[in-house]
Amino acid sequence: MKKKARRRPAQSRPTLTTPPTKAAQPAPPVRTALPRQYYLDNLRWACVLWLIPMHAISFFVLIRPGASAMFFLRSVLYFPWWMRLLLVIAGMSTVFSLKKRTLGTYLRERVQKLLLPFIAAYICFIPLSMYCLAVGQGYTDGLGHFLLSPSTMWEYIKLLPLWHLWFLAALIICSIATAPLYKLYEQKVLASQKPARKPLPLVALILLFVLPFLASGRLQFLASPLSVGESLAWFILGLFVLSNPATLAHMEKHRWSLLGVAVLATVLSYSPIAQLLKLPPPFDQLFTFLHAWTAIIALLALGKHSWNGHGKVAAYLQDSSFAFYLFHFLVVFALGLLTIQITHENVWLSCLLTIALSYPLTFLFYEIVRRIPGLRFLFAIKR
């Protein structure tokens, strides 16, 4: 027997008086957050933690210029790719911010999260850090006299006026300069490009080290380690090149090849070959930039494959890394001054003690500041 069709309720049956239903309109596009790339966070906080030994060694080199062995150690441990990797990661992370924010919102956040902490940290920490350095070099007057004597304080600040905050200044300039360009690029290029973006060939990717090399020394700003031009070049490489998922997947696939190229470039940069070639400036830095760029893309490829996890410790280090960067400088200089007096001028023991104690004390300082609402806002610390 055939089953009778179920009769629809009266209110659902169309009648002559029922107005025709309108066709369903497609929902407006909704901005969705991109999946977080935890390997970028992990590489970022690892680079930030490395600031402590570097600035501890730098402090003792400044107060004891004759310590040639320590000066050599600082030169060896100051990897060419270290701070440049942070600029590349900042450029890659900017894509995630701009994908879910309008340009105006993004620029307002840069003021709150970068410019305001920069001003606050410079006013609060740099003069105190310079006082520690001055005492280490033989200054005998008190802190009040130092702070109230602009000419004396300027003698210590003028050699490198931004100190560790040069990186924050570079981020401010790079963010403001490139965000409108990326928005235009996203609208005009990405929107009109229906097929997926193709990966950049490895040879072309490696040769991109020429861009920051050509930009090095351009627009030097207040004696920063990297010029504005070079900082922009590294930031742009992360923003426009390494933000391509296809290129990142290609890098991850060939990570061991990239690591081999990076090792070879490292050997070339430290070998006597560069000296034997007697290249004129600035071409004498060619192998250094090749070393830096190949190390960066190799670390990103290896990190994407093997260090994309996320645990409680990594989450804490990521949340505290920005404040750690702001606070560590004063902690290192104050501990350096204290330990050199306790150890009776034993520079190496003082340096080891400074490094060992700076980590817990910087995190303690961070925990105190983040519990004070006004200071938390001032230094852009998350709740």
Task: For residue range 68-106, list pLDDT tens digits in order.
Answer: 788 888 888 888 999 999 999 999 999 988 888 889 999
Report the length, in residues, of the chain.
383
- Residues contacting residue 64 through CB under 8 Å, at least 6 positions apart: 70, 347
End of a domain among 276, 307, 338?
Answer: 307
Q: What is the pLDDT of residues 267-276, one digit of tens each?
A: 988 888 777 7
334 in the same domain as 271: no
217 vs 229: CA distance, rounded Å = 7
- Structural domain count, the chain: 2
Instruction: Quote the CA–CA distance of 332 and 58 in Å, as a whole number.
Output: 10
Structure tokens at 26: 């497609």
d(Cα 192, Cα 198) in Å, to the nearest integer? 14
Q: What percent of the chain has pLDDT over 70?
A: 87
User: Both 191 and 337 in a single domain?
Assistant: no
Last residue of a domain, one of 307, 325, 344: 307
* Whether residues 58 and 86 fall in one domain: no
Task: Indicate if 325 and 297 belong to the same structural domain.
Answer: no
pLDDT for residue 111: 93
Question: Which residues have C-beta within 8 Å of that of residue 91, sequence separation ≥ 6?
Answer: 174, 178, 234, 235, 236, 237, 238, 239, 240, 242, 243
Say if CB 243 and CB 190 are below 8 A apart: no
In this structure, are 130 and 218 located in the same domain?
Answer: yes
In a domain, 11, yes or no: no
Give the pLDDT score at 265.
92
Which two three-digit tokens encode residue 94?
């900017």
Only one residue has tokens 């629809």, namely 8
Q: Could you give the CA distance from residue 221 to residue 177 in angstroms, rounded to a whole number?
A: 15
Q: Are residues 349 and 272 in the same domain?
A: no
- Give the global pTM: 0.85
| 62 is a domain residue | yes
Tell me the HSE value of 75 on the side-chain side, using a 13 A CA sphere: 7
Judge whether 27 lies within some domain: no
Ramachandran bin of 217, using left for φ above 0, alpha for ψ from -120 to 50, beta for the remaining angles: left
Which amino acid is present at 129?
A: S
Domain region containing 345: 37-78+310-383
Neighbours of 28 (CB within 10 A): 5
Cα–Cα distance, 164 to 253 (Å, whole number): 36
User: Where does 137-243 have alpha helices with state H?
Assistant: 143-147, 150-157, 166-185, 202-207, 210-215, 228-236
Has residue 203 been placed in a domain?
yes
Q: What is the pLDDT of residue 147?
A: 80
Say if residue 212 is in the same domain as residue 344.
no
- Give the span between the Cα atoms of 335 and 315, in whole angstroms: 27
Same domain, 50 and 153: no
Tokens of 76: 């060896």
| Predicted pLDDT at 112 | 93
In this predicted model, what pLDDT tens digit does every residue of 119-172 receive, in sequence order? 999 999 988 998 898 888 888 888 888 888 777 777 776 666 788 999 999 999
Instruction: Answer for the pair 208, 293: CB distance below 8 angstroms, yes or no.
Output: yes
Domain boundary residue, one of 307, 322, 353: 307
Structural domain contains residue 181: yes
Low-confidence ranges of the chain (pLDDT < 70): 1-35, 157-160, 189-196, 222
- Whether 147 and 65 map to the same domain: the answer is no
